[in-house]
């Protein structure tokens, strides 16, 4: 099998699994309990937050553990919207966002919030002039991904933050799920940031929302004040430690992995450039981990199934999107419905080998011929 869908899910790495297993056996207490096992568990949890914070430029108390990026995005967006509605009910996001962002703003729209989608340029970059026009005194939130999950565009976060901060009560949430451990990320010019374990060789079912300490959120999960009042419930200590380990592992190897992936990415680009029916959407300046393309005149859903039969796993869109629908990010960029229906997302890892790319290209080119 040749797995080229690492943007949807990565295999857990040995170090992470080991850290999880050790923690699951070692800590028997609930971090909220006042006795010794509880205190030891709490200390270890704080150590995990301190270490993640140290790597990502956040304070220990700015990390809220969640079940993954979808929950973090929901908590950030609903949490701000509900808590700061006294200042306004206007939210801005883009069509490049993951379903856990667009779905959340759609739910808020049904509750009377106003949502605007900022345009992106033909290169997929958020149109800063349009953002300036959309921002209002009653805008309380702008939410964008640092790297989107479908095309892999890297957004100019610092410039967006500058604009957001021209408004009196507006917060900036950044979905960094596809960025952490892949490109340099710091929790500096933003108010809230989403991360997820299973995109970075961690375990599925853990993630975090980083939140500047002065910001208040209406929680999604009400209950007692466990480690934070923003998310009740006993913290899954071993999962939190697995997240710490995954963040550490990927950021420590960031440049090395980046180079490996970039080379494979260029290899695919060079090979595909020969086929005039292939339009590559991910710009060279985008994340090398994602390569999004459209195949003119090809049903990519059928092609994906054919490739799967031949042991090649790629995606047509983000894993959370329905099949046979347009790719909203590609449509936002190209305004071309046909191209947006014929997308394919290849996503890479440092684990991807040259042999895998060669085999993929061979099968892919053959499959395109038969499916066009
Ligand atoms: C940019 C982005 N945000 C959020 C998510 C949701 O992540 P999770 O599966 O951890 O909920 C994904 C997953 O594909 C993603 O790529």
- Taking CA atoms only, the protein residue closest to ligand 1 atom 16 is 149
Half-sphere exposure of 66 (CA within 13 A, CB side): 27
* CB within 8 Å of 152: residues ≥ 6 apart: 7, 178, 282, 286, 287, 288, 289, 290, 291, 292
Report the C-alpha gap between 354 and 289 in whole angstroms.
15
The interface pTM score, or ipTM, of the predicted complex is 0.99
Reference 220, options 82, 105, 100; nearest CA is 82
Where does the chain hold its CATH 3.90.1150.10 domain(s)?
A: 2-9+253-371
| Cα four-point dihedral sign 70, 71, 76, 78 | positive
Identify the CATH class of 2-9+253-371: alpha beta
CB of 205 closer than 6 angstroms to any ligand 1 atom: no
For the CA of 9, the closest atom of ligand 1 is 14
* CB within 8 Å of 105: residues ≥ 6 apart: 77, 91, 93, 113, 115, 143
Q: Which of 72, 177, 289 to mutate to test the pocket of ligand 1 (most atoms within 8 A of CB)?
A: 177
Where does the chain hold its CATH 3.40.640.10 domain(s)?
A: 14-252
Q: Which tens digit of pLDDT belongs to each residue from 194-246?
A: 999 999 999 999 999 999 999 999 999 998 776 788 999 999 999 999 999 99
CB of 177 closer than 6 angstroms to any ligand 1 atom: yes
Reference 113, options 84, 92, 91; nearest CA is 91
Is the CB of residue 213 less than 8 Å from the CB of residue 249? no
- Taking CA atoms only, the protein residue closest to ligand 1 atom 8 is 69
CB of 150 closer than 6 angstroms to any ligand 1 atom: no
Active site annotation includes 320: yes
How far does the centroid of ligand 1 lie from the alpha carbon of residue 143, in Å?
14
CB of 191 closer than 6 angstroms to any ligand 1 atom: no
Reference 7, options 210, 303, 261; nearest CA is 261
Please state the rounded mean pLDDT for residues 175-202. Answer: 98
Is the CB of residue 350 less than 8 Å from the CB of residue 201? no
CATH topology of domain 14-252: 3.40.640
| Residue 263 host element (H or E) | helix 254-272
Matching residue, tokens 């300046």: 285
The pLDDT > 90 percentage for the chain reads 91
Partners of 94 in the β-ladder: 118
Predicted TM-score of the model (pTM)? 0.97
Please state the rounded mean pLDDT for residues 262-288. Answer: 96
């Amino acid at each position: 099998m040749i797995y080229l869908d690492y943007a949807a899910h990565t295999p857990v790495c040995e170090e992470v699994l080991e850290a999880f297993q050790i923690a699951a056996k070692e800590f028997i207490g609930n971090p909220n309990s006042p006795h010794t096992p509880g205190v030891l568990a709490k200390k270890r949890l704080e150590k995990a937050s301190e270490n993640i914070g140290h790597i990502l430029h956040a304070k220990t108390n700015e990390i809220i553990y969640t079940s993954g990026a979808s929950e973090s995005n929901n908590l950030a967006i609903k949490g701000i919207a509900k808590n700061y509605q006294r200042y306004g009910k206007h939210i801005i996001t883009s069509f490049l966002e993951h379903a856990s962002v667009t779905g959340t703003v759609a739910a808020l729209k049904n509750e009377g919030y106003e949502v605007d989608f900022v345009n992106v340029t033909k290169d997929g970059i958020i149109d800063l002039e349009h953002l300036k026009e959309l921002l209002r005194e009653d805008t309380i939130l702008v939410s964008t991904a640092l790297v989107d999950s479908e095309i892999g565009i890297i957004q100019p976060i610092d410039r967006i933050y500058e604009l957001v901060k021209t408004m009196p009560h507006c917060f900036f949430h950044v979905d960094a799920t596809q960025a952490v451990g892949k490109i340099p990320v710091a929790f500096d010019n933003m108010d809230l940031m989403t991360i997820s374990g299973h995109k970075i060789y961690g375990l599925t079912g853990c993630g975090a929302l980083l939140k500047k300490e002065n910001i208040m959120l209406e929680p999604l999960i009400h209950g007692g004040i466990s480690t934070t009042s923003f998310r009740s419930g006993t913290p899954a200590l071993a999962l939190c430690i697995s997240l710490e380990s995954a963040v550490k592992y990927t950021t420590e190897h960031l440049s090395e992995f980046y180079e490996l992936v970039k080379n494979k990415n260029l290899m695919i680009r060079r090979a595909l450039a020969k086929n005039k029916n292939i339009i590559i959407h991910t710009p060279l300046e985008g994340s090398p981990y994602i390569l999004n393309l459209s195949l003119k005149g090809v049903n990519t859903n059928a092609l994906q199934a054919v490739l799967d039969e031949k042991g090649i796993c790629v995606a047509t869109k983000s894993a959370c999107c329905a099949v046979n629908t347009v790719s909203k990010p590609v449509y936002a960029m190209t305004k071309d419905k046909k191209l947006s229906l014929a997308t394919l997302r290849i996503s890479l890892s440092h684990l991807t080998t040259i042999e895998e790319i060669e085999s993929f290209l061979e099968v892919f080119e053959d499959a395109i011929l038969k499916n066009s």
